Amino acid sequence: MADVTSVTPAAIALNRFGLGARAGEAAPSDPRRWLTSQLAGASYQAMPPALANQPTSSALSAEFADRQSAIRNAGNDDKQAVRKSYNEKLRDTYRAAVNVRFLSALQTPTPFVERLVVFWSNHFAVSVEKPPVAMLAGSFEAEAIRPHVLGRFEDMLVAVERHPAMQIFLDQARSVGPDTPGRRTRR
């Protein structure tokens, strides 16, 4: 296992830039090359295996719309039960996304890039206080951050601001300015 107690270039690379050494992992002999090779992207997986079964934002948005419709159409006696079922599903979806994020961090062959994913996810943070955002938080990282983390910042920024989680978080989903999707559908 790497000696991470001393301040060596390898320890700095593993801990400050990466996610720390795994049990039994040897320290990189050339820390700079270890970091730059990850940035080259050859072994980075924008969609790691841990994320393979996670629902997309479009699937989650459709599910949210269906549940909202079910709540509206439920009789007064059933509204609470439908709402409770929805809230349980929302919590389960959010917990699954959090677990997948941890699993991805534990399994990644590119811990430096994974740290960048965490950095940009925190930078473009969305609050899970709004129920639909909580449901979309995992897909936000998977669809808006991960594919662009090694690419152009402009592409990531556009993906972030157009993602449904950010639109709802910023209350832009209801926006009907002259050039917004909401206005175009109302014409």
Taking only the tens place, the pLDDT of each residue in 52-81 is 889 999 999 998 888 888 888 888 888 888
In angstroms, rounded to a whole number, what is the distance separating the alpha carbons of residues 121 and 98?
Answer: 13
Examine the pLDDT at 3 and tell me if it is beyond 60: no
Task: Show Cβ contacts of residue 44 under 8 Å, excluding neighbours closer than 6 positions.
Answer: 38, 110, 113, 149, 150
For 42, the token pair is 């050859």
In a domain, 26, yes or no: no
Q: Is residue 35 part of a domain?
A: no
Q: Given this model, what pLDDT does residue 67 score?
A: 87
CA–CA separation, 85 vs 38, rounded Å? 43
Residue 32 located in a structural domain: no
Predicted pLDDT at 181: 62
Q: What is the pLDDT of residue 154?
A: 98
Residue 12 lies in a domain: no
Q: How confident is the model at residue 83 (pLDDT cuts 50, 70, 90)?
A: confident
Q: Residues 84-101: what's their mean pLDDT? A: 91
Q: Residue 186 — very low, low, confident or very high, per pLDDT cuts 50/70/90? A: low
Domain assignment present for residue 2? The answer is no
pLDDT band at 146 (very low <50, low <70, confident <90, very high): very high
Is 7 part of any domain?
no
Closest alpha carbon to 73 in 62, 82, 86? 82
Residue 17, pLDDT > 70, answer: yes
Q: Which residue has the higher pLDDT, 161 or 23?
A: 161
> How many domains are there within the chain?
1
Query: What is the domain extent for residue 94?
Result: 55-174
Task: Please tell me the number of Cα atoms within 13 Å of 68 on its side-chain side.
Answer: 8
Is pLDDT above 80 for 46?
yes
Specify the pLDDT at position 72.
87
